[in-house]
Amino acid sequence: MALNILFSASESDWRHYQPHLQSALAEHFIDAKISTLPNDPGAFDFVIWSPASPLQDFAPFTNLKAIFSLWAGVEKVVRNSSIKVPLCRMVDPGLTQGMVEWVCGQVLRHHLGLDRHILQQDGIWRHDNIPPLAKDRKIGILGLGELGGACAQALARLGFQVAGWSNSPKNVPLASSLTGPDGLETILAQSEILVLLLPLTPGTENIINKDSIAKMRRGAFLINAGRGALIDDNVLLKALESGQIAHATLDVFRQEPLPSNHPFWANAKITVTPHMAAETRPESSSHTIAGQIRRWLDGKPLQHTVNWSVGY
Ligand code: GLV
């Protein structure tokens, strides 16, 4: 009998996903009907969900096997007590590659001091301040999961000295893995460029605060591709003013879209990008979802399920 799948995201998501999902399901030999409206909730086997979906109450979905998040970050759904089935984070090779490219681009921008030449093309031949090679540059990454781990590896392959900090120790080739409060102090103190790729949980909210910024290496660059609420915004503004932080490149914000009157927009030491560091790619993520359903049909455990106790 055909499986029933509810695709509950934005209309534009549906336009982009529909052809890829249908072909990915066919390639995995899955007979399924996909709906976009939850008219008969008890009939659905799986829900594909994004934060753009109005669906919050999963209690009527009495036959549900699992929910697949289209987003890697699940903070908007992880505390939903009506969910009684596994919730799978999106781990999408397209999203991971996009993040690697964006993070490497931003790191190289600051490592090479490109702004100086891009923003000041004024007839002055500034042949001073030649950047060190990557081997002499220390990069820190807070968050060594799917995305942070892939970025750590790519940066290490470029030759950077890379350290990562995470909840539990990770084995990332060529990068060192730090944990705990001591590990955090070490990475804050040594990183010339600090990249945030942590999930947002009660334990990581405002992890970049007055105390942690004071422990950072003076003049460090901060890159946030995780979640806006990892940073205390007012503390960041003060740290930029004092020179404790040289520049912040921010892709994520407490409120998105970032309101046009927000002080970040006008601050020359902040680069705002519109939550575009990494998008879930419909083609590759449709294969991920179809692969997950195939695993369920074959009696294998689903992958990337949320650990409710840690919140991601
Ligand atoms: C985007 O921010 C995501 O969580 O996938």
pLDDT digits (tens, 9 = 90+) for 66-99: 999 999 999 999 999 999 999 999 999 999 999 9
Residue 169 preceded by cis peptide, ω within 30: no
Percent of the chain whose pLDDT exceeds 90: 99
Please report the sign of the dihedral spanned by the C-alpha atoms of residue 275, residue 277, residue 282, residue 287.
Answer: negative
Q: Residue 40 and residue 60: Cα distance in Å, rounded?
A: 9
Q: Residue 109 and residue 261: Cα distance in Å, rounded?
A: 27
The confidence score (pLDDT) of residue 163 equals: 98
Q: Residue 92 and residue 126: Cα distance in Å, rounded?
A: 42
DSSP-derived secondary structure letter, 304 = S
Reported pTM: 0.96
Q: Are 209 and 181 in contact (CB under 8 A)?
A: no
Selecting among 227, 247, 281, 287, the annotated active-site residue is 227
50 lines ligand 1 (CB under 6 A): no
Instruction: Give the position, in ligand 1's atom list, of the atom nearest the Cα of 227.
Output: 2
The confidence score (pLDDT) of residue 290 equals: 98
Q: Which of 124, 154, 116 is nearest to 246 (CA)?
A: 116
What's the pLDDT tens digit per position in 105-124?
999 999 999 999 999 999 99
Active-site residue 275, yes or no?
yes
141 lines ligand 1 (CB under 6 A): no
72 lines ligand 1 (CB under 6 A): yes
SS3 track for 89-149: CCCCHHHHHHHHHHHHHHHHHHHHCHHHHHHCCCCCCCCCCCCCCHHHCEEEEECCCHHHH
The confidence score (pLDDT) of residue 117 equals: 93
Centre of ligand 1 to C-alpha 135, Å, is 31
Element (H, E) at 157: helix 146-157
Pocket-testing residue among 96, 227, 280, 289, ligand 1, by greatest number of atoms within 8 A of Cβ: 280
Q: Whose CA is nearest to atom 1 of ligand 1?
A: 71
What's the average model confidence in pLDDT over 227-240?
98
pLDDT exceeds cutoff 90 at 129: no
pLDDT exceeds cutoff 90 at 178: yes
Selecting among 262, 275, 294, 295, the annotated active-site residue is 275
What's the pLDDT tens digit per position in 240-299?
999 999 999 999 999 999 999 999 999 999 999 999 999 999 999 999 999 999 999 999
Percent of the chain whose pLDDT exceeds 70: 100
In which band, very low, low, confident or very high, does the pLDDT at 223 lie, cut at 50, 70 and 90? very high
pLDDT exceeds cutoff 90 at 1: no
- C-alpha to C-alpha distances, 259 to 232, 240, 255, nearest whole angstrom: 17, 20, 7
120-124, 156-160, 217-221 — which is least confidently predicted?
120-124
Q: Residue 100 and residue 152: Cα distance in Å, rounded?
A: 9
Active-site residue 227, yes or no?
yes
pLDDT exceeds cutoff 90 at 306: yes
Phi-psi region of 219 (alpha: psi -120 to 50; beta: other; left: phi over 0): left
Centre of ligand 1 to C-alpha 77, Å, is 12
195 lines ligand 1 (CB under 6 A): no
280 lines ligand 1 (CB under 6 A): yes
What's the average model confidence in pLDDT over 157-176?
96
Q: Residue 47 and residue 75: Cα distance in Å, rounded?
A: 17
Per-chain mean pLDDT for the chain: 97
Pocket-testing residue among 13, 53, 71, 99, ligand 1, by greatest number of atoms within 8 A of Cβ: 71
Q: Residue 291 and residue 49: Cα distance in Å, rounded?
A: 16
